[in-house]
Amino acid sequence: MTGRAVLVTGASRGIGRAVAVAFAASGDRVAVHHRDSAPLAEQLVAALPGEGHVLVRADLADPDEVRAMVDDAADRLGGLDVLVNNAGVFGSADAGHPIFDSSYEQWQQQWRRTLDVNLLGAANTIWCAARHLRDRGGRIVNVSSRGAFRGEPTQPAYGASKAGLNALGQSLAVALAPYGIAVATVAPGFVETDMTNEHLKAPRGDAIRAQSPFNRVAQPEEIAAAVHWLASPEAEWASGTIVDLNGASYLRT
């Protein structure tokens, strides 16, 4: 088989879709993961350049489904060389779970739902994928968020889940390096995707764009380009890094 075997979670739309396209365009074989977007995911698999691409499904909040999905992807691709942990959930623009405007039940529900997918789901996916990467080396790239650093006052579970993902990536960069596995993270700001569409089309959309001195938000392809490079053979020395991709909208030291 030619090219690398790449698993991209949450690949049916947005950043994940752009990431899948970027890898396929460079000759890699891609496993397109989705949870409940089969038509979009099927369309993407059919449209990707090259051949050998496959469709896999799992609810990342379910550890058993995660394990079956990763093993299925590796079996059908002939192994795994790259994992891109992109899938994630975020609350709605007009709801969220601000601490004084949420019932205790709502608070619990949002934290559980968000952590189960964004952090535990990613951790479980890595655990399963590492078993396939161990004997051949490879790359793991996690998609985090600017919110891990600046905070998410109305979506605290989201910010916390992404901060946890950052720490997870750095811990595993050290743990997996002896096996030739590099682990890196990208932390985008707002990106024009289905997940952020309701925010960008709301009255506060102009204010969101104005957060960057470029007066815009990112396109998915810009994030995909960074992910693709971090997964390249040349990027091993970037293992453990967290790359800010927010158009200077939030600068940290």
Per-residue CA distances from 60 to 46, 49, 52, 65, 113 (Å) = 23, 27, 24, 7, 10
Tell me the three state secondary structure of residue 202. coil
Tokens of 11: 């690949």
Cα 251 to Cα 253: distance, rounded to the nearest angstrom:
7
Amino acid type, 178:
P
What totals of helices (H) and strands (E) does the chain contain, helices first? Answer: 10, 7
158 assigned to active site: yes
Tokens of 245: 């991709």
Cα 229 to Cα 62: distance, rounded to the nearest angstrom:
30
DSSP conformation class of 206: H
Cα 19 to Cα 13: distance, rounded to the nearest angstrom:
10
219 Cβ contact list (under 8 Å, min separation 6): 18, 191, 192
Amino acid type, 100:
F
Amino acid type, 69:
M
Q: Which of 104, 158, 179, 250 is catalytic?
A: 158
Q: Hey, which residues are catalytic here?
A: 158
